[in-house]
C-alpha cells in the first residue's frame, strides 16, 4: 500500500510538469499584452518595456519557463504582475476559503446523496424513485450561479434569514488562524457566536454548490445499489429471514458505496475548479474569485498557479479515493 502511494506520488511529477508547460504555452500563444494591461492605459512605451524587464517578460519563452520552473521547485510560484504580490502568498490566503466551501458542499451532498440513492434503489420504479430521479436530473440541469441567485433572493433579500455574501461580517474580527476554516477556527477558539456566524455565511453558497454533486452521487448510488441487490448473497440473506432494513444497511450499503466513491473523488476535483461561479455570486473570497480577477487582467502567473494547485488537489483526491477503496473493500489489491 505504501509503495502504491509513493509510486502514484512520483507519477504526479510529469503531470505537474506538463501542466505548467501547457499553461505557459497557452499564455504565450494567445494574443493580448498583459504587460501593457498591467501598466495602465496611460503608460508610455518605455514604462511598458521597463515593467516587462522587471518581470522578465522580455526574455525568450524558454528562458521564462526555465526561470518559472526552477522557482517552482523552490516553492516560488512567481509574482503577480498586477497585484505585485507573490502568487503563493495569495493562493495560501484564498485556498482555505475555497476548501471550506468545497468540503461543506461535499459533506452535504454525501450525507444526503447516499441515503437518497439507497432509498430510490429500494423503492425502484415506485413513486419515490421517479420523483427523486426527475428531481436529480433537474438539479444537474440547474446552473449553480442561478440557484445561488435564487437562494440569495429568497433567503437573503426577502426573508433576510441569511447574509447576502462574504465569509464573515466585516465589523467582526476573524477567529485566530489555525486551519483557515472559519467554522473550525471558531470552534477551536471556543467562540460559539463566531461559529454560528461563519456557518450562516457558509450555508447558502454550500447549498448552491452541493445540488449537482448530490444528484450525481444519488444516481450513482442508486445504480450500484440496484446491481448489488441482485447478488446471490442478498437472496440468501432474505432466505435466512433477515429484515429488509438489516439487509440494506448492513450488507448492501457498504458494497454499493465503493462504486460511488469514484464519483465522489472526481466531483471533489471538479468542484474545486467550479467554485468560480458560486464565489462570484456570494463574493466568497476564494481561489475562484482570485483566478477570475487574474484572468480578466490577463495576469498569467496567478492563473497558472491556481490551475497547478487545483490540478494537484484533483490528482491527490483521486489518490485518496483509490486508497479508500482498499479500506472499504479489502478484496482490492494494489498492483
Partner 1 sequence: MSEPSKQVSPMGVAADPMEDIAVESARRLAWRRAVFRFRQSSLSMLGLAMVLAVLFVAVFGSALAPFPEHIAGGVDTGNRFMPPSLAHPFGTNELGQDVLSLVMAGTRVSVLAGLGIVLIATVLGTVIGAVAGFFGGWLDEVLMRISDLQLTIPGLIFAMAVAAALGAGLFNMVIAISLGWWPGFARLVRGEVLAKREETFVVAAYAIGAHPLRILFRHILPNIISPVIVKMSLDIGFAILTVASLGFVGIGVRPPTPEWGTLLSISRSYMPDFWWTAVFPGLAMFFAIFGFNLLGDGLRDVLDPRARR
Nearest residue to 283 (alpha-carbon basis) of 205, 197, 198, 206 = 205
Nearest residue to 199 (alpha-carbon basis) of 143, 171, 161 = 161
Is residue 310 part of the contact set for partner 1 (CB under 8 A)?
yes
**Residue located via cell numbers 497585484:** 83
Is residue 36 part of the contact set for partner 1 (CB under 8 A)?
no
Contacts of residue 1, defined as CB under 8 A and 6 or more positions apart, other chains included, come to 323, 326, 334
Q: How many CB atoms lie within 10 A of CB 6?
A: 10
State which of positions 199-258 bind partner 1 (CB under 8 A): 223, 226
Is residue 18 part of the contact set for partner 1 (CB under 8 A)?
yes
Closer residue to partner 1 (CB): 261 or 278: 278
Dihedral (CA of 29, 35, 36, 40) sign: positive
Is residue 143 part of the contact set for partner 1 (CB under 8 A)?
yes
Is residue 295 part of the contact set for partner 1 (CB under 8 A)?
yes
What is the rounded CA–CA span in Å between residue 156 and residue 203?
A: 11
One residue of 53, 69, 150, 192 binding partner 1 per CB under 8 A = 150
Q: How far is the CB of 146 from partner 1 (least distance, A)?
A: 4
**Residue located via cell numbers 501542466:** 19
Task: Give the binding range for partner 1 (CB under 8 A) out of 21-29, 80-88, 112-120, 325-333.
Answer: 21-29
Task: Give the binding range for partner 1 (CB under 8 A) out of 88-96, 174-182, 245-253, 284-292.
Answer: 284-292
Is residue 298 part of the contact set for partner 1 (CB under 8 A)?
yes
Task: Write out the DSSP string of 230-257.
Answer: TSHHHHHHHHHT--HHHIIIIIIHHHHH
Q: Where do contacts with partner 1 occur on this chain (CB under 8 A)? A: 15, 18-19, 22-23, 26-27, 30-32, 134, 137-138, 140-143, 145-146, 149-150, 152-153, 157-158, 223, 226, 269-270, 272-274, 276-277, 280-281, 288, 291-292, 295-296, 298, 300, 303, 306-307, 310-311, 314-315
Amino acid at each position: 500500500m505504501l509503495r502504491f502511494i509513493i509510486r502514484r506520488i512520483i507519477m504526479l511529477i510529469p503531470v505537474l510538469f506538463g501542466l505548467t508547460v501547457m499553461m505557459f504555452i497557452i499564455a504565450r500563444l494567445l494574443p493580448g499584452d498583459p504587460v501593457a494591461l498591467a501598466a495602465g492605459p496611460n503608460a508610455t512605451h518605455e514604462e511598458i518595456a521597463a515593467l516587462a524587464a522587471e518581470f522578465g517578460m522580455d526574455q525568450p519563452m524558454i528562458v521564462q519557463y526555465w526561470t518559472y520552473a526552477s522557482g517552482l521547485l523552490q516553492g516560488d510560484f512567481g509574482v503577480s504582475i498586477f497585484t505585485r504580490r507573490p502568487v503563493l502568498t495569495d493562493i495560501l490566503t484564498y485556498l482555505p476559503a475555497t476548501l471550506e466551501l468545497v468540503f461543506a458542499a461535499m459533506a452535504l451532498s454525501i450525507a444526503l446523496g447516499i441515503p437518497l440513492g439507497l432509498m430510490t434503489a429500494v423503492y425502484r420504479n415506485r413513486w419515490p424513485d421517479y420523483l427523486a430521479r426527475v428531481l436529480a436530473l433537474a438539479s444537474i440541469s440547474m446552473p449553480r450561479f442561478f440557484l445561488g441567485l435564487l437562494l440569495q433572493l429568497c433567503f437573503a433579500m426577502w426573508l433576510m434569514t441569511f447574509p447576502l455574501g462574504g465569509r464573515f461580517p466585516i465589523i467582526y474580527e476573524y477567529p485566530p488562524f489555525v486551519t483557515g476554516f472559519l467554522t473550525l477556527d471558531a470552534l477551536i477558539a471556543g467562540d460559539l457566536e463566531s461559529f454560528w456566524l461563519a456557518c450562516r455565511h457558509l450555508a447558502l453558497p454550500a447549498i448552491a454548490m452541493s445540488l449537482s454533486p448530490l444528484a450525481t452521487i444519488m444516481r450513482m448510488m442508486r445504480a450500484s445499489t440496484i446491481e448489488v441487490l441482485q447478488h446471490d448473497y442478498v437472496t440468501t440473506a432474505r432466505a435466512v429471514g433477515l429484515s429488509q432494513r438489516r439487509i440494506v444497511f448492513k450488507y448492501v450499503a457498504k458494497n454499493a458505496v465503493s462504486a460511488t466513491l469514484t464519483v465522489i473523488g472526481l466531483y471533489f476535483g471538479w468542484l474545486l475548479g467550479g467554485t468560480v461561479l458560486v464565489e462570484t455570486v456570494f463574493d466568497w473570497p476564494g481561489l475562484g474569485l482570485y483566478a477570475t480577477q487574474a484572468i480578466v487582467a490577463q495576469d498569467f502567473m496567478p492563473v497558472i498557479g491556481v490551475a497547478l494547485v487545483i490540478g494537484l488537489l484533483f490528482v491527490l483526491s483521486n489518490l485518496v479515493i483509490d486508497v479508500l477503496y482498499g479500506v472499504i473493500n479489502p478484496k482490492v489489491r494494489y498492483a
